[in-house]
């Protein structure tokens, strides 16, 4: 009988002490639930809710917690086959297997896959200590110490933006054969700045349920299938479904979950277009704002606002409104002097529609995150309720 074993993974070089368990995920000889070493309360809650220590499907080698956009994390069930397929497809897409540098928390799928890909290629990963956050100053030495015929890493957009402010870190990243950027949408200005600095970045799209990134620069990895359902005939936007060898078996203890209704396919909450084999994600169905009878996608509004002077980062979210149902609000992390509400409203009205224009502005020091790099819009809604005087 196979039991699900808890696997505490520290956010630093000590994670390499788990080589045997990580290798067992790839060869199918054990089943593990990665847990954060630096958040014992969260680890205990995950261990209990996903039933660590109890029996599990004999095919399963990994139960990885989702980020929990609904507030209730689920456990995606992966096999050695899905993990090896992901590693092989990534290597094929990037130009061959190589060694990897870990700069992400290892218990999330993105960080875990950095470790697994490197081990699958026969190389010990290089590991940055992110216990106290990501420090770009550590990159030059880490990159210089990497071995292998090709060298890779994976970052979230916030890390990439931070690294670009450090010339030595930027020069080190420019030596890598590829840098995967994911966990959240990569703003076009950030991608352009990285490429102008000589960095070989690849934007990724995927999730825990697909063993991490499975669409690179809009193109599905080898073997990965993409289709849209419920497509709007006017815009071509539909809900994304992903299929292929990297898709999880399902969720632990949720055998009837509608996301896995069709065997071998995963129904996401993402909205996108898919033209000529290229996927363009435009937002999430569960984050759409219904205002005045119209639907506003936060990511579309953010793409306008983040280009304005004085905006370091931003996130759009919906708040209750007696007349409209929901009103559009935006949280802005200033870069210097933040634009005022009138400037934001005018910019969005000019490029989109008056209903998409923010009616509330919240100035914050940093955007709250869930998982590696994803904005926690529910937390922003709570913060807005606590700051009703914001305009």
Tens of pLDDT, residue by residue over 223-275, are: 999 999 999 888 898 999 999 999 999 999 888 899 998 989 999 989 999 99
Decide which of 282, 317, 345 is a domain's last residue.
Answer: 282
Q: How far apart are CA 136 and CA 342, in angstroms?
A: 36
| Same structural domain, 264 and 297 | no
Q: Is residue 372 a part of any domain in this protein?
A: yes
Q: Which residues contact 167 (CB under 8 A, 6 or more apart)?
A: none
Same domain for 239 and 265: yes
Query: What pLDDT was estimated at residue 391?
Result: 44
Domain coverage including residue 46: 4-282
Residue 107 lies in a domain: yes
Q: Is residue 213 part of a domain?
A: yes
In a domain, 37, yes or no: yes
Which of 282, 304, 335 is at the close of a domain? 282
The pLDDT score that the predictor gives to residue 72 is 66
Check which CATH number belongs to the domain holding 269 and give it: 3.40.50.12780
Tokens 């520290």: give the residue: 10
Q: How many domains does the chain have?
A: 2
**What is the rounded CA–CA span in Å between residue 87 and residue 222?**
11
Q: What is the CATH number of the domain that holds 295?
A: 3.30.300.30
Question: Both 223 and 371 in a single domain?
Answer: no
Same domain? For 102 and 210 the reply is yes
Q: From CA 314, how far away is CA 361, in angstroms rounded? A: 10
User: 29 and 144: one domain?
Assistant: yes
3-state secondary structure of 212: strand
- What pLDDT is attached to residue 121? 96
Q: How many CA atoms lie within 13 A of 67 on its CB side?
A: 20
Is residue 310 located within the same domain as residue 179? no
Q: Are residues 322 and 222 in the same domain?
A: no
The pLDDT tens digits for 160-184 are: 999 999 999 999 999 999 999 998 7
Q: Report the DSSP pairing between strands 212-216 and 219-220.
A: antiparallel
Residue 178 domain-assigned? yes
pTM: 0.82
Determine, yes or no, domain membership for 365.
yes
Residues of the chain with pLDDT below 70 are 67-72, 371-373, 388-391
- Give pLDDT tens digits for 352-389: 878 889 999 999 999 998 766 678 888 999 999 887 64
Cα 43 to chain centroid, rounded:
20
Structural domain includes residue 325: yes
Contact 157, 373 (CB under 8 A): yes
Q: Which of 249, 282, 315 is the last residue of a domain?
A: 282
Residues 297 and 376 sit within 8 Å (Cβ to Cβ): no
Percent of the chain with pLDDT over 70: 97
Cα separation values, 263 from 79, 258, 285, Å: 15, 11, 22
Residues 98, 235 within the same domain: yes
On whether both 379 and 243 belong to a single domain, the answer is no
218's tokens? 């809009």
| Statement to judge: residues 244 and 358 lie in one domain | no
Residue 391 placed within a domain:
no
Distances (CA, A) of 170 to 34, 200, 201: 31, 11, 12
Query: Do 271 and 151 fall within a single domain?
Result: yes
User: CB under 8 Å to 111, separation ≥6 — which residues?
Assistant: 102, 104, 105, 154, 372
State how far the Cα of 27 lies from the Cα of 79, in Å rounded to an integer.
Answer: 9
Q: Which residue has the tokens 């995150």?
A: 369
The reply to whether 111 and 195 lie within a common domain is yes
């Amino acid at each position: 009988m196979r039991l699900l074993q808890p696997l505490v993974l520290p956010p630093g070089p000590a994670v390499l002490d788990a080589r045997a368990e990580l290798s067992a995920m790839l060869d199918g000889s054990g089943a593990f639930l990665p847990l954060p070493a630096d958040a014992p309360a969260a680890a205990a809650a995950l261990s209990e809710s996903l039933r660590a220590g109890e029996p599990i499907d004999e095919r399963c080698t990994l139960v990885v917690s989702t980020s929990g956009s609904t507030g209730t994390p689920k456990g995606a069930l992966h096999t050695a086959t899905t993990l090896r397929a992901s590693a092989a497809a990534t290597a094929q897409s990037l130009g061959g297997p190589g060694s990897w540098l870990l700069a992400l928390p290892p218990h999330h799928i993105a960080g875990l896959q950095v470790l697994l890909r490197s081990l699958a290629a026969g190389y010990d990963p290089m590991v940055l200590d992110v216990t106290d956050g990501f420090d770009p100053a550590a990159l030059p030495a880490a990159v210089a110490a990497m071995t292998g015929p090709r060298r890779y890493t994976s970052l979230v957009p916030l890390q990439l933006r931070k690294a670009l402010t450090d010339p030595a870190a930027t020069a080190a990243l420019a030596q890598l054969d590829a840098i995967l950027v994911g966990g959240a949408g990569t703003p076009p200005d950030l991608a352009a700045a990285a490429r102008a600095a000589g960095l070989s970045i690849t934007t990724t799209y995927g999730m825990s349920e697909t063993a991490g990134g499975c669409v690179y620069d809009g193109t599905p990895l080898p073997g990965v299938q993409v289709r849209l359902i419920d497509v709007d005939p006017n815009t071509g936007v539909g809900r994304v479904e992903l299929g292929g060898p990297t898709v999880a078996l399902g969720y632990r203890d949720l055998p009837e979950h509608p996301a896995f209704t069709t065997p071998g396919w995963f129904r996401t909450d993402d909205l996108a277009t898919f033209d000529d084999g290229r996927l363009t994600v435009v937002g999430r169905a569960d984050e759409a704002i219904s205002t005045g009878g119209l639907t506003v996608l936060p990511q579309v509004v953010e793409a306008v606002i983040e280009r304005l002077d004085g905006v370091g980062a931003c996130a759009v979210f919906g708040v209750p409104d007696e007349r409209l149902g929901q009103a559009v609000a935006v949280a802005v992390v200033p870069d210097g002097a933040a634009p005022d509400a009138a400037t934001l409203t005018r910019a969005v009205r000019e490029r989109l529609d008056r209903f998409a224009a923010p009616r509330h502005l919240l100035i914050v020091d940093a955007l709250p995150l869930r998982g590696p790099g994803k904005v926690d819009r529910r937390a922003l809604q709570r913060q807005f309720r606590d700051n009703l005087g914001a305009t």
